[in-house]
Amino acid sequence: MEPDLSALEAHLEERDVDGYLLHSDSEDADQYYLSGFDAPDPFVSLYDGEVRLLFARSLEYGRARAESRAATVERYVDFDHEKLIEEHGRHEATNRAIAGFLAAHGVDSVAVPPRFPLRTADGLRGQGVSVAADPESALTAVRAIKTDEEVERVRETQRANEAAMARAEELLAGASIDDEDRLVHDGDVLTSERVREAIELTLLRHGCALDETIVACGADAADPHDRGSGPLRADEPIIVDVFPRSKESKYHSDMTRTFLRGTPGDTIREWYDLTAEAKATALDALEVGVTGEAVHGAACDVYEDAGLPTLRSDERTETGFIPSTGHGVGLDVHELPRVSPGGGELRPGHVVTIEP
């Protein structure tokens, strides 16, 4: 996949800098997006109209030349790194090698993302390179606009997610209830941990992995992002939130469902119905040209009209509708655009969740 970097070029022209610089490993989504290369250790990517890579060692050099989208791939050794170490010490040698790499490509000034390493920035400034922070993270905004190929990658991950959620539903629906109001499956008490294991095994079989899954019951379900633990109980809501990443494409999906085995109380049923209405209302409001803030506001209206607090109506509330309505999803599970207060205009190619 070749990304459209024309917006990044326009950003560099507007900022009057020669290039955009990254120094991180490929777990940084911006790094992976720009370089097209997966490496566990930090490396340098420069965009100056072309993508150019610089590696500290030769270990990844051959693979980067074969797999990355870079026009050039170089190593510290190409800039006399060992000699620089002898003369200046290791840290200063690294600064000089990166500065030499930039000079070789006629780059005297760079913009860098908000989390760019401070030591690298200060070291380059010490070598006369102008380093300007890019607080809005232009590259992150660029990759928020998905190509058709990227949309399909999210869909593939979502299909795996749906299979995992179906496995969780199967376990919950097939459970009985013991005399302590616990869910029991195949003779054993059904726990958050057991359902989470089934979800994660299903995802692995579909080529996906994830760091954590939420299966939270009762009071745990009311605490945002509590992973949940222990027995699952009848008559209480069970939140299942699954956000895997494809091991091949590295694109995420995100899916949340509420289950209940038994009989819901009046309050739980009311909140469930309100949330279903808020979700439908937000989806109705979702279209190109509206803002993420407006979509979030439509969901807030539903709760506020029912007399429940939101962070819009009470910024200090700890109950009621306190999350955002949604967010972008792609190489990061939470990325632009925001479907929340301050969320900007939604554009063709944005992929968002709606999950009040």
pLDDT tens per residue, range 274-294: 999 999 999 999 999 999 999
Same domain, yes or no: 48 and 155: no
198, HSE (Cβ side, Cα atoms, 13 Å): 18
Output the domain CATH number for residue 135.
3.40.350.10
- Taking the C-alpha atoms of residue 231 and residue 194, their distance in angstroms, rounded to an integer, is 9
Residue that is last in its domain, among 122, 143, 164: 143
Q: In what order do the strands lie in the sheet with 176-177?
A: 176-177, 183-185, 188-189
Amino acid identity, residue 80? D
Percent helix, strand and coil across the chain, each to the nearest 5? 40, 20, 40
Segment 23-63, tens digit of pLDDT: 999 999 999 999 999 999 999 999 999 999 999 999 999 99
- What's the pTM? 0.93
> Is residue 326 within a helix (H) or strand (E), and if so which, with residue range?
strand 326-328
What integer pLDDT is reported at residue 24 of this predicted model? 97
75 occurs within a structural domain: yes
Do 108 and 102 touch, CB atoms closer than 8 A? yes
316 neighbors 237 (Cβ within 8 angstroms): no
Alpha-helical runs (H) found in 27-107: 29-35, 61-67, 81-88, 90-104
Q: What are 255's two structure tokens?
A: 């899916």
Whole-number Å distance between alpha carbons of 257 and 217: 12
Q: How far apart are CA 224 and CA 70, in angstroms?
A: 41
**Are 132 and 174 contained in the same domain?**
no
Residues 6+ apart with CB under 8 A from 290: 345, 346
What is the residue type of 247? Answer: K
Q: Are residues 139 and 227 both part of a single domain? A: no
How many domains are contained in the chain? 3
Task: List, run by run, the mean pLDDT of 10-residue segments along the chain (356 residues).
Answer: 91 96 97 96 97 95 95 96 93 96 98 96 98 94 96 98 98 96 95 97 94 91 86 97 96 96 94 96 98 98 96 91 96 97 97 96
Contact criterion met (CB below 8 Å) for 242 and 216? no
Which tokens go with 135? 């607080």
On whether both 353 and 239 belong to a single domain, the answer is: no
Same domain (yes/no): 134, 173: no
- Note down the domain range covering 324: 265-356
The pLDDT assigned to 136 comes to 87
CATH of the domain at 213: 3.90.230.10
Closest C-alpha to 192, from 231, 225, 240, 220: 231
| pLDDT value at residue 212 | 85
Helix ranges (H only) for the chain are: 6-15, 29-35, 61-67, 81-88, 90-104, 118-126, 138-144, 148-173, 192-205, 266-285, 292-305
**Considering 208, 242, 263, which residue would you say is the last residue of a domain?**
263
The amino acid that residue 237 corresponds to is: P
pLDDT the model gives residue 179: 94
**pLDDT for the residue 221:** 85
Q: Residue 133: its pLDDT value, please? A: 96
Strand partners, 252: 245
